[in-house]
Structure 1
Amino acid sequence: MTNPPRSIFREDAVRRYLEGREKSILPRLVSPRTFIYLWFMLGLLGMSSIIAWLTKVPVYASGTAVVVRWKDKKVTPEGIVVAAFFEPQQIANLPKTKKLFLNFADRGARTAAIIAVEPEIVSPDTIQKRFAIAQITGPSAIAIAQLEPIDKNLPAAAYLGSVGDAQAEVGSQRLISLLPLIGQFFEQ
């Protein structure tokens, strides 16, 4: 008998080579460090989504504020108040509001307590007759607020006719509904 020809490879090396061919090896696409960072980012995204879902932010209605005379002098001795005029669709939300955020250009921002809300929509003609102002050109929902003294040296009558911006908190919405593209799925 003749001996088979001797291989130039060691037997141990040939065995490991054959075992390696039998195992399936997946390519290494991501290093372990990157894999940990990706899980961390996914967790951070999940936590911020939960926070955005649970957090509610106020919704404001914007309008025009005018300092006017008001017929009820029991609330204010001088009869001078701030009348805030809002879009007609806000009439259902205004009775829930307790205060207005006012901003008069030369007098700064301030808050004022609402003392009355008109129960119905008022026409521009009625507004002009009742308050003697012509700045309002469309039907409006009206909120009347207490005028706090802006300057202690001036009487409240000095501010009659002053025009500014008014904002009333009319509700709240989830923070996630403010996000572009996906926010429309979470609106209430």
Structure 2
Amino acid sequence: MKLTKPMQPMKLKTLIATILTIPLITLAANTTHAQEYRIGNGDILEIVTWREPDFSREEILVRLDGQISFPLLNDVQAAGKTPTELKNTIETGLKEFISDPHVTVTIRDAGSQRFYILGEVVNTGEYPLLKDLTVLQAFALAGGFTEWASKKEIILFRQEGGQEKVIQINYRDIIRDKDFQQNVKIQADDTIIVP
């Protein structure tokens, strides 16, 4: 059996420091700062008030004006709020009628979270935005491209800050790993056009 030379103290310290920092780097890389969901027009909510069935609703549609109708509170602004903000608004309003209301707001159907694909894809139309999707995944949902698709001239229209933004996408560059940054995440109301 051959004996190996023991590690020098400096190299051992470096190795230990490296091993200890790997989990921290991995943790930092996996931590996302996802924004809390914002309620939108067309969403269907479930609102439950604990021990108060008269103030609970299984399905409430967020109307086009962004409001919901709720017993004794009449119209309540829901669009643009997080479920927690809407919960707090309803609890504050119900304190006039219930001594200590506890409300839970759940998104049953995220009807406001949709995107659209038009043009030379197999299945054009409206798609639900159920998770973080990229344009490559959106093309997969649409069944891929037709044989006439121009994969180098794809356009994504997006509303940001009241302005229309146009993003050029070259599918060929993405799949050839030339410009993977073009594989952008889809946002609600994005429209992708494949010429």
Give the TM-score band, short-chain normalised.
Answer: under 0.3
Q: Which has the higher contact order (CA 8 A, sep 6+)?
A: 1
Identify the structure with the greater helix proportion: 1
Q: Which has the greater radius of gyration?
A: 1
